[in-house]
Amino acid sequence: MDFKKTIRDIPDFPKKGILFKDITTLLKDKKALKASVDVLARQFGKKGIKYVVGIESRGFIFGTALAYKLGVGFIPVRKKGKLPSKVRSVTYALEYGTDTLEIHEDALKKGDKILIIDDLLATGGTVGAVAKLVRASGAKIVGVGFIIELAFLNGREKLKGLPVYSVIQY
Ligand code: AMP
């Protein structure tokens, strides 16, 4: 499957200088949607995963589909203030300023094997922060999966020691 054909480049979105990888065109394509989730399921299917942890918001789309396919539960990591019960938070640096992500404090237990899913790995800041959140609960990260990896940004450097897999690389 040539996934790259189904991904659209949008120059200067959300701001000047960013070449945005638009996955709405992949999602719309029934073969590409199914195949992309199937590739992730093949990669991570035999790791004894208990939960998929998906990152708001495009990580929810692929993460939930993958959890369904693997027959496991799904746990959302959301932006600050969105989760209704008690949360654990992590604040991390962006190009300008900071951002905060949250997970329910009781979502994970010590030793739970989890897989983190997001749509795209750029600098690795987002997933690095989520890995901290997950580790604080004592859960074990057995994989980190993406649809797209912008390899030239070296995001993997921030995820050293974690099994990282991406379906497509640029
Ligand atoms: P980073 O923390 O730098 O790895 O950025 C990852 C997050 O930002 C992911 O949730 C992506 O959805 C989003 N992102 C970063 N760069 C791009 C891009 N060029 N195209 C689409 N999404 C991006």
In a domain, 27, yes or no: no
In a domain, 111, yes or no: yes
In a domain, 157, yes or no: yes
Q: Residue type for 11, please?
A: P
CATH number of the domain enclosing 54: 3.40.50.2020
- Euclidean distance between CA atoms 113 and 92, whole angstroms: 24
pLDDT in tens, the chain (170 residues): 999 999 999 999 999 999 999 999 999 999 999 999 999 999 999 999 999 999 999 999 999 999 999 999 999 999 999 999 999 999 999 878 999 999 999 999 999 999 999 999 999 999 999 999 999 999 999 999 999 999 999 999 999 999 999 999 99
| Phi/psi of residue 70, nearest 5 degrees | -85, -10
Q: Residue 95 has what pLDDT?
A: 78
* Residue 38 alpha carbon to ligand 1 centre in Å: 22
In a domain, 138, yes or no: yes
Q: Residue 113 has what pLDDT?
A: 98
21 Cα nearest atom in ligand 1: 20
In a domain, 101, yes or no: yes
Q: How far apart are the first and last CA of the chain?
A: 16
19 Cα nearest atom in ligand 1: 19
pTM of the model: 0.98
- Euclidean distance between CA atoms 39 and 158, whole angstroms: 24
Spatial neighbors of 32 by CB under 8 A, at least 6 apart, are 1, 3, 6, 26
Residues spanned by the domain of 76: 39-169
In a domain, 58, yes or no: yes
In a domain, 25, yes or no: no
Q: Residue 73 has what pLDDT?
A: 98
For the chain, what is the domain count?
Answer: 1
Residue nearest to atom 3 of ligand 1 (CA): 123
Set 58, 78, 102, 149: catalytic member = 58
Is 58 known to be catalytic? yes
Are 120 and 147 in contact by the 8 Å Cβ rule? The answer is yes
Is 78 known to be catalytic? no
In a domain, 113, yes or no: yes
Q: Residue 96 has what pLDDT?
A: 81
